[in-house]
Structure 1
Amino acid sequence: MFNFNVDFTGEFVAFFLLAVCAIVGAVMALQFTKVVHTALSLAFTFVALAGLFVLLDAEFVAFVQVLLYVGAVTILMIFGIMMTKHQDEGQEPSRPLRDTLAAIGCLCLFGILFYAIRNAGFPAEARPGDENNTLEIGKLLFSQYAIPFELVSVLLTVAFIGAVALAKREEGDAP
């Protein structure tokens, strides 16, 4: 069951390091109590995920991951935090039972995923990808998916304007 025939190539080491970075960043985002630290931890996770996309030969998706999530979403989160008022609330009380149950649940999930992946039948040969996947994505984006692309851009613009309007209204309510 546990035959670990793994070639320790550079790609394997890079995948392992990036996967560990993504997991650590995600766990730290859940553990931090300050929102700015959580946002920076999420940015760290997003950069690690972009590295994993590069390993999968999806350079365009990696670039978009860095551009949108690391750049735009993290900056918007930090600006949103800075524009709203936060009172210093007390530290959340420690709950050792909850933490213990969460750790047991995580270990069980890891065991189930490990068992499922080890017993899964993956195809021996991967389908060769296009040499220029960015060109193919661009063709699809501006031909077949032009309307959803524009609708998402309008939705993001409306969400940003709404966030600014809510922040301004909250600022006006202050004495």
Structure 2
Amino acid sequence: MLGSIWDGLKDLFLTPANLMFFVFALLAIGGAIFAMSLTRVIHMVVSLAVTFLSLAGLYVLLNAEFVAFVQVLIYAGAISILMIFGIMMTKHESEETELKRPLHNWLLGIGIVAFFGILFYAIQNTSFPAPTAFDPGENNTEAIGIQLFSAHVIPFELMSVLLTVAFIGAIVLAKREEE
């Protein structure tokens, strides 16, 4: 049993792409856990930005460079900055509440380790179909653009109208609060 687990771990770290996937996945999961469990909002935003950047790294590993670029530009950049501005412009009082639940934390940790152990065992014992040939030199940005402006043009335009209306509504609400 231990020998098969060791062989599975050895195969997992065999290639640099697998190692980078593991690092990005751990950063994404860790950032998400910290974003949910930290008490200060600015720390939550920073850990959320780490999650967004590590997801962009995973997209690069999947040869989706355009999606990775959009992830960094929109989520890691714009959304994180928007959240920081929201924190700076609102009044908030810091109430430090110390929750002492060591038994709950231990049970949570044991549950997480058991869950990932079950997932690791299931993935190692599953036979996946052979991957199809993919040309990494293929221009996936052009393919996304063709799909976006041919098959999905109406949802694309509706989304732009929705974002414009939301932007105008935010300006109206900000002016109303100012007065």
TM over 0.5: yes
- 1:84–1:167 CA contact under 8 A, matched in 2: no
Equivalent AA in structure 1 for residue 89 of structure 2? M
1:146 matched to which residue of 2?
153
Aligned to 1:95: 101
Secondary structure of 2:52's partner? Answer: helix
Q: Pick one of 62, 70, 80 that aligns with 2:68.
A: 62
**Structure 2 CA distance for aligned equivalents of residues 160 and 169 of structure 1:** 14
Q: Tell me how far 1:166 sits from its aligned partner.
A: 5.3
Distance 1:115 1:169 in 2: 57
Does the alignment pair 1:35 with 2:41? Answer: yes
Matches within 5 A, 1:104-115: 104-115=110-121
Alpha-carbon separation, structure 2, partners of 1:94 and 1:157: 46
Counterpart residue number, 2:29? 23
SS of residue in 1 equivalent to 2:97:
coil
**Structure 1 counterpart of 2:162, from 115, 132, 155:** 155
Measured against aligned partners, the alpha-carbon deviations of 1:12-43 in whole angstroms (never above 9, x if no partner) come to: 33222222222222222223211111111111
Instruction: Indicate whether 1:132 and 2:136 are aligned.
Output: no
**AA of the residue aligned to 1:123:** P
Q: Tell me, in whole angstroms, the C-alpha distance in 2 between the residues paired with 1:98 and 1:168.
A: 46
Matched positions, count: 172
Question: Judging changes above 3 Å, is the alpha-carbon distance between structure 1 residues 163 and 68 closer, same or farther for their aligned structure 2 residues?
Answer: same
Which consecutive residues of structure 1, in runs of 5 or more, have no partner in the other structure?
Answer: none
RMSD (CA atoms) = 2.5
Distance 2:169 2:145 in 1: 30
Greater mean alpha carbon deviation, residues 136-145 or residues 154-163: 154-163
With 113-122 and 151-160 compared, the bigger mean Cα shift is at 151-160
Match in the other structure for 1:119 = 125
CA shift in 2, pair 1:90/1:160, >3 Å: farther
AA partner of residue 132 (structure 1): N
Aligned pairs for 1:39-58 (under 5 A) are: 39-58=45-64
Deviations 1:37-91 (A, max 9, x none): 1111111111111111111111111111111110111111112222222122232
TM-score by length of 1: 0.82
In the superposition, the TM-score normalised over structure 2's length comes to 0.81
Whichever residue aligns with residue 120 of structure 1, its letter is T
Residues 127-174 of structure 1 show CA distances to partners (whole Å, capped at 9, x for unaligned) of 4157011100000111111111222233334445555555666666xx
Greater helix fraction, Structure 1 or Structure 2? 2
Whether the 8 Å CA contact 1:84–1:170 is kept in 2: the answer is no
